[in-house]
Amino acid sequence: MKSRYVFLVGLPLVLIFWSFSNNPLKLNFSSSFTKSSTTLNQDLCDTDAFIGPVIDLNYFDVRYYSLAITPPDSFMTFREALAFKESQGKFWKVNTLGYMGKYQFGMTTLETLGVTDSLRFLRSPRLQERVFIKNLQYNHEILEPYIEKYAGKKVGGIEITESGILAAAHLSGAGGVKRFFKTNGRKANRDAYGSSIKTYMKRFGGYDMSEVIEP
């Protein structure tokens, strides 16, 4: 009776082992991964063609998105601090005035930078990051004489730095920053929500922009 019990218990195990040995279960993720990877690479190529090369940054390096291992005065810290002020870092956010994305760009600025499809812009974090850098470089080129003249000095009670000027330009455009300096800080533009050039210059001053701004 005991041997019969052992046989009945062991038989299913033998059959299971036999079925796997003759027709092993294959878990093949390669095809789906290859497909998604190909799609992603195509999206990135499309983005490069759409906005143009800006700077060689590794968007797949986790350090690019981590503040825990970056200096407090780094470009990455500047970028994320500004993004939090603008949208709490939300790529899909659109405010009541139609400004959109992580950095709250308006369509006029986006079109100046070569972006005409707002939906595509909102759907692409990579595109938003590249546009942000391109806008910084665009404003820097316009405001370079003011940066060279005023950096390290105090205007309107604010210590002027390169990053502060670029943050202020992000808020009110290069024209608003020029007006601030031409009036010796007496006229500081505010946006519709009350944020001022002076606030941005002070709050975002002192960051190292050399990672994205060529000397």
- At 62, which CATH number? 1.10.530
The tens-digit pLDDT sequence of the chain (215 residues) is 544 444 444 544 444 444 444 444 333 433 333 333 344 344 444 444 444 444 444 444 444 445 556 788 899 999 999 999 999 999 999 999 999 999 999 999 999 999 999 999 999 999 999 999 999 999 999 999 999 999 999 999 999 999 999 999 999 999 999 999 999 988 776 665 667 899 999 999 999 999 999 86
Whether 140 is in a domain gets the answer yes
Same domain, 4 and 31: yes
Gap between the Cα atoms of 58 and 55, Å rounded: 10
Whether 69 is in a domain gets the answer yes
Same domain, 148 and 81: yes
Same domain, 98 and 28: no
Same domain, 116 and 172: yes
Domain limits for position 66: 53-203
Q: What confidence score (pLDDT) does residue 32 get?
A: 37
Whether 214 is in a domain gets the answer no
Q: Which of 143, 136, 138 is nearest to 78 (CA)?
A: 136
Same domain, 151 and 196: yes
Q: Identify the domain boundary among 51, 67, 88.
A: 51
How far is the CA of 111 from the CAs of 24, 54, 118, 131, 184, in angstroms?
Answer: 56, 16, 10, 11, 31
> How many structural domains is the chain composed of?
2
Structure tokens at 28: 């093949």
Whether 120 is in a domain gets the answer yes
Same domain, 43 and 139: no
Same domain, 67 and 150: yes
Which amino acid type is present at position 15?
A: L
User: What are the counts of helices (DSSP H) followed by strands (DSSP E) for the chain?
Assistant: 8, 2
HSE at residue 189, side-chain half, CA atoms within 13 A, is 19
Same domain, 104 and 176: yes
